[in-house]
């Protein structure tokens, strides 16, 4: 293995991935595991989680699963404590768990707003806090990767309203930058991935309603994200290759955010 290649090697590292049972979280977990990391994947849906666990173990990866609803304020501490008990350390935290709700702003239910904010921002904060306290700050080392969205950089079309989701994902970006500034002194790098359109469960409704041609019309690369398209960015932020990168966000969107609306 050459020096450049070895920068991406995660052998011996431990990664905790929330929302790791499907979609983008599963993609990232697999990529980190293939780079050598030992994994704990977390989800509130036990059946999905068991399926992902068996799938990753069948691929030869060292992985454990933990069922938890991290939107509940006591659960992040329990998740992190379990990971620490089994692995003894957490080197990489991937905050991928997310929720959305589609409703016009003038009719958006308050309980739905709270649900989205609790999962997408409060749970992220609590996961970061617990991982830092229990593992990263004592060791003066760690990598945190937060998942935002291109909808955190701009508003949605009026026929696709998602005010709470968009607001929460914008908050993730400045949360990432603020935390990086605070925790750099502890040797903790904090960065965000900003995905564009991927065939996730959240995007499925829009893809089915509008068709793939319409969904990719304004994507310069002419396609939606695929099964491996977040892995490179995750490895960069998680590994020694990204040791001097913190407080940044990178859009993985096929060029959508580079395109002028005019």
Q: How many CA atoms lie within 13 A of 251 on its CB side?
A: 18
The residues annotated with a catalytic role in the active site are: 165
Both structure tokens of 100:
């959305």
């Amino acid at each position: 293995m050459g020096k450049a290649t070895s920068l991406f090697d995660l052998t011996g590292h431990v990664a905790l991935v929330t929302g790791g049972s499907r979609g983008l979280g599963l993609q990232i977990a697999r990529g980190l595991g293939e780079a050598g990391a030992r994994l704990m994947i977390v989800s509130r849906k036990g059946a999905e989680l068991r399926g992902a666990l068996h799938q990753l173990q069948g691929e030869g990866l060292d992985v454990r699963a933990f069922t938890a609803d991290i939107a509940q304020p006591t659960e992040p501490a329990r998740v992190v404590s379990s990971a620490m008990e089994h692995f003894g350390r957490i080197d990489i935290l991937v905050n991928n768990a997310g929720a959305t709700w589609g409703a016009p702003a003038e009719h958006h239910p308050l309980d739905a707003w709270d649900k989205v904010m609790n999962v997408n921002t409060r749970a992220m904060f609590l996961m970061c806090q617990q991982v830092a306290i229990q593992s990263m700050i004592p060791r003066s080392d760690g990598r945190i990767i937060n998942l935002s969205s291109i909808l955190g950089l701009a508003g949605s079309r009026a026929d696709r309203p998602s005010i709470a989701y968009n607001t929460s994902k914008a908050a993730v970006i400045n949360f990432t930058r603020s935390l990086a500034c605070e925790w750099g002194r502890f040797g903790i790098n904090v960065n965000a991935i900003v995905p564009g359109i991927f065939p996730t469960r959240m995007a499925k409704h829009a893809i089915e309603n509008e068709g793939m041609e319409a969904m990719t019309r304004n994507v310069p690369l002419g396609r939606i994200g695929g099964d491996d398209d977040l892995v490179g960015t995750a490895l960069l932020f998680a590994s020694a290759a990204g040791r001097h990168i913190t407080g940044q966000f990178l859009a993985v969107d096929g060029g959508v955010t580079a395109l002028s609306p005019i």
